Amino acid sequence: MIKTILFDLDGTLLDSLPLIKRTYKRVFQEMNIPWANGEVMKCIGLPLVDIGKKFAGEERHAEFFSLYQQHYAIEHDAMTKAYPGTMEMLEDLHQRSLRLGVVTSKSRRVALRSTGFLGIDRYMDVLIGVEDVDRHKPQPDPIFKALEQMQVPAEGAAYIGDSPFDIMSAKAAGVTSIGVSWGMAEGDELLRFEPDYLLNQWSDLLLVLENDTELMD
Give the residue numbers annotated as catalytic, written as ranges: 8
C-alpha distances out from residue 128 to 68, 107, 147, 188, Å: 21, 9, 10, 28
Choose among 126, 169, 119: nearest CA to 150: 126
CA angle 39, 167, 85 (to 5 degrees): 90
Residue 73: enclosing H or E segment and its boundaries?
helix 61-79
Q: Which among 126, 175, 141 is positioned nearest to 155, based on CA atoms? A: 175
